[in-house]
């Protein structure tokens, strides 16, 4: 196995530009996009024809989407994560989604020679000693890692090898600090939502020190979670519709490399198109089966506070879109966030908010208006009932067995 200094490689990759240089790149590009929208808002306000105004907005969104895509692709790091979050069909303008969705699994790749070095350092053997076949062109590449198809020596089935991009964690910490500052600026001017607390919780998941490893960068932790979920699904379902890849433990247990069984399938965001391409009835049983995989301080700025608070709760904690709405528009003049300012948002709720957002994006992508709030209604009702804040006659979930299941 060739000898090399992984620490030196890490430094070369993560410090190709200093934090000051990287910060300058971000602020120059972000300011260009932001001021472009502010100037356009003034210009489009003079257009009285609604249809022409919408066409103008669409053209500007397309222009901005190119700039946002270039920034995320060129800078990489945490901006790829931002692109994956923003590029959901329920939240961002359609032009943004069309452009940013390609970054979900087609992010910039780590060169094959660097992948080889990382693998051999983590595995303790050469690639040729471990694998009968290794495809150096990755199946997909995302913000933290990329995946390769391979076959272990002496085995007849293919595996997937997930390799972490070297130096990506340092890049993300610099990016997060810039985004925290940008979030403070946004919530003071355009969006009355506590974005800063959301960014702080994201920092916890990325940050690392001697006592704690960033959650998303520890593949040992990911492997443990995969096995727990796989075990839970098999124990509680006679025939589960969700298949979790089996972790190949005997190969490597590493923070930066994860080997699992290969499962052939269709990316979930492409499922709707694939169903139509195969001539499957979108309302039939097969399509229906395929679609089954899925402390806030506010200030009132409007007259109908109760109704707007309810709308805000739906937007943040339910995947189902309101009737007639195909895309949420938090920056619109009549948006709930313009009427109810979220002054503080508990950091521990960020994971819930993020999960709901991801599920909503998948639901919209599949053409399924699905309500996750209905699924966890029994948990909420039990908590309210046991605390004395909900009477038995007000319960909508009559099946108490669900309570016992969730408590267990």
How far apart CA 145 and CA 160 sit, in angstroms, is 12
Report the distance separating Cα 100 and Cα 80, nearest Å. Answer: 9
Locate all alpha helices (DSSP H) within 298-376, ordered by sequence: 305-317, 336-339, 350-366, 372-375
Average model confidence (pLDDT) for the chain?
Answer: 76
Residue 113 scores a pLDDT above 80? yes
What is the Cα–Cα distance from 107 to 68, expressed in whole angstroms? 14
pLDDT band at 329 (very low <50, low <70, confident <90, very high): low
The Cα–Cα gap between 225 and 122 comes to 21
Please list the residues that pair with 260 across neighbouring strands. Answer: 160, 247
pLDDT for position 171: 79
* Reported confidence tier of residue 286, pLDDT bands at 50, 70, 90: low
Residue 17 pLDDT: 57
Structure tokens given for 297: 């301080």
Residue-level pLDDT at 172: 80
* pLDDT per position as a tens digit, 21-56: 888 999 999 999 999 999 998 998 898 888 888 889
Percent of the chain with pLDDT over 70: 70
**Record: fold of 112-169+212-264:** Phosphorylase Kinase; domain 1 (3.30.200)
* pLDDT for res 107: 74
At 400 the pLDDT is: 52
pLDDT of residue 217: 83
| Alpha carbons 102 and 56: distance in angstroms, whole number | 24
Do residues 252 and 160 touch, judged by C-beta distance below 8 A? no
Angle subtended at Cα 357 by Cα 304 and Cα 314, rounded to the nearest 5 degrees: 25
Q: What is the pLDDT of residues 195-235, one digit of tens each?
A: 666 666 666 655 654 334 466 788 888 899 999 988 887 77
DSSP 249: T
**Distance (Å, whole) CA 156 – CA 145:** 26
Q: Copy the structure tokens of residue 207.
A: 């940050």
Tell me whether strands 145-152 and 131-134 are parallel, antiparallel or unpaired: antiparallel
Number of CB atoms found within 10 A of residue 208's CB: 15
Residue 261 has pLDDT above 90, yes or no: yes
Write the pLDDT tens digit of every residue in 237-260: 666 667 889 998 877 667 889 999
Q: Of how many residues is the chain composed? A: 408
Look at residue 257 in the predicted model and tell me its pLDDT. 92
pTM of the model: 0.61
DSSP-derived 3-state class of residue 202: helix
Query: Whose structure tokens read 């998303």?
Result: 216
- The confidence score (pLDDT) of residue 206 equals 58
Distances (CA, A) of 131 to 99, 134, 200, 247, 258: 36, 6, 41, 16, 14
Up-side HSE of residue 129: CA atoms within 13 Å toward CB? Answer: 10
Confidence (pLDDT) at 134: 96
Q: H/E element holding 257?
A: strand 257-261
Query: What are 148's strand-pairing partners?
Result: 161
Q: How confident is the model at residue 179 (pLDDT cuts 50, 70, 90)?
A: confident
392-401 residue pLDDT tens: 776 665 555 4
Higher pLDDT, 332 or 172: 172
pLDDT value for 406: 46
Q: How many CB atoms lie within 10 A of CB 167?
A: 19
Using one digit for the tens of pLDDT, what is the confidence trace for 361-373? 777 767 777 788 8
User: Confidence band (pLDDT; 50, 70, 90) for 13?
Assistant: very low
pLDDT (0 to 100) of residue 405: 44
Q: How far apart are the first and last CA of the chain?
A: 49
pLDDT tens readout for residues 75-108: 877 787 777 777 666 567 778 888 887 776 677 7
What CA–CA distance (Å, rounded) separates 27 from 174? 12
Q: What percent of the chain has pLDDT over 90?
A: 18
pLDDT band at 160 (very low <50, low <70, confident <90, very high): very high
Higher pLDDT, 272 or 134: 134
Q: What are phi and psi of 272, to 5 degrees?
A: -60, -45
Q: Is the pLDDT of residue 388 over 50?
A: yes
**Which range is most confident: 109-113, 173-177, 195-199, 213-217?**
109-113
Give the separation between CA 35 and CA 218, rounded to whole angstroms: 38
Q: For the ranges 59-63, 206-210, 259-263, 341-345, which has the lowest average pLDDT?
A: 206-210
- Domains of the chain, residue spans: 13-106, 112-169+212-264, 305-404
- Look at residues 212, 7, 210, 249 and name the one whose alpha carbon lies nearest to residue 121: 7
CA distances from 289 to 172, 194, 204, 210, 234 (A): 38, 38, 37, 46, 18
């Amino acid at each position: 196995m060739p000898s090399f200094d992984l620490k030196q490689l890490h430094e070369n990759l993560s410090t190709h530009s200093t934090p000051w240089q990287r910060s300058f790149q971000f602020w120059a590009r972000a300011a260009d996009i932001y001021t472009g929208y502010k100037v356009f808002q003034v210009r489009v306000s003079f257009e009285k024809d609604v249809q022409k105004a919408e066409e103008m907005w669409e053209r500007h969104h397309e222009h901005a989407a190119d700039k946002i895509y270039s920034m995320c692709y060129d800078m990489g790091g945490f901006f790829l994560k931002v692109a994956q979050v923003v590029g959901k069909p329920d939240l961002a303008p359609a032009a943004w989604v069309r452009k940013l969705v390609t970054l979900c699994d087609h992010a910039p790749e780590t060169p094959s020679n660097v992948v080889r070095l990382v693998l051999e350092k983590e595995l303790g053997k050469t690639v040729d000693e471990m694998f009968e076949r290794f495809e150096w062109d990755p199946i997909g590449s995302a913000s933290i890692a990329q995946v390769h198809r391979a076959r272990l020596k002496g085995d007849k089935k293919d595996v997937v090898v997930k390799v972490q991009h070297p130096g990506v964690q340092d890049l993300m910490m610099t990016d997060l600090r810039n985004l925290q500052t940008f979030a403070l600026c946004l919530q003071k001017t355009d969006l009355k939502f506590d974005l800063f607390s959301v960014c702080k919780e994201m920092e916890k998941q990325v940050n690392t020190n001697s006592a704690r490893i960033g959650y998303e960068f520890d593949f040992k932790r990911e492997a443990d979670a995969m096995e727990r979920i796989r075990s839970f699904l098999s124990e509680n379902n006679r025939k589960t519709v969700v298949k979790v890849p089996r972790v190949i433990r005997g190969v490597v247990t590493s923070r930066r490399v994860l080997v699992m069984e290969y499962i052939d399938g269709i990316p979930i965001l492409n499922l709707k198109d694939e169903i139509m391409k195969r001539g499957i009835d979108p309302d039939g049983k097969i399509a229906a089966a395929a679609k089954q995989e899925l402390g806030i301080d506010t200030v009132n700025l409007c007259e109908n506070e109760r109704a707007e608070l309810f709308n805000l709760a739906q937007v943040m904690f339910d995947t189902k879109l309101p009737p007639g709405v195909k895309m949420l528009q938090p920056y619109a003049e009549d948006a709930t966030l313009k009427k109810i300012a979220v002054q503080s948002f508990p950091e521990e709720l960020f994971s819930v908010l993020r999960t709901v957002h991801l599920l909503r994006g998948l639901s919209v992508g599949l053409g399924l208006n699905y309500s996750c709030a209905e699924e966890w209604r029994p948990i909420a009702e039990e908590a309210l009932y046991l605390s004395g804040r909900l009477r038995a006659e007000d319960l909508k979930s009559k099946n108490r067995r669900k309570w016992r299941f969730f408590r267990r």
